[in-house]
Amino acid sequence: MDSVLYKPRNEEIQIQLRRYRDVLALNGGMVIALSLWDVIKVFIGFFLGEETIAKIIGNIMSQMDESVINPKYENVVNIIMWAVFLMVILLFSMALFLYHLYIGLNAFRAGRQTAKKKRSFYLVLTLLSALFAVFFMISNAYSLIKGVDVSGNVDFAYFVMETTAAINYVSILYAAYKIRKLEDAGSKKR
């Protein structure tokens, strides 16, 4: 009866490798999902924050006198400024999404072992993202404590999301480290 049962080779190392690869792939997908939050956060900041696009454009328009812009072209300049601001925000949001997509896809591919060659630059970007997430988490905690937002809802949501992102990035770094150590241990055993 014992011959029927499955007995894997290097079972402990293989089980741990599979576990950490799953963690890496799952967290890579989570980075991509959280990138949508970062894009939403950019739009919230510019449309609902203290310095909205309307206020910025209003300040710029009020500082220009009639010698710079003819009053009859004020609406055209206002529309052009709105278009430029929206294009800049969209380009920044796209760059932000692509940045997180690069990290997430590389982590996912490393976890699923579908990458054609091993890349480690995404780990450097993950470390930078983790540092930024911790910085934003501390900043949001400070805003919550100081009570900058009257309702506190926005600051609390930012804090929760930044904490989630920081944990996610640290988890990617830890899983990649453990995979490398386990692969080294497995190759020494053979």
Per-residue pLDDT at 10: 62
What pLDDT digit, counting tens, does each position of 52-74 carry?
777 887 887 777 766 667 777 77
CA-to-CA separations, 22 to 19, 28, 108, 124, in angstroms, rounded:
5, 10, 9, 20
CA-to-CA separations, 155 to 38, 108, 118, 120, in angstroms, rounded:
14, 30, 39, 34
Q: Name the burial class of residue 158, with classes exposed (0-12), middle (13-18) and buried (19+) by CB atoms within 10 angstroms of its CB.
A: buried
Per-residue pLDDT at 134: 95
Residues 91-99: contacts with CB under 8 Å, at least 24 apart: 92/42, 93/39, 93/42, 93/43, 96/35, 96/38, 96/39, 96/42, 97/35, 97/36, 97/38, 97/39, 99/35, 99/125
What pLDDT digit, counting tens, does each position of 8-56 carry?
566 788 889 999 999 999 999 999 999 998 898 888 877 776 677 778 8
Q: What is the pTM of this model?
A: 0.81
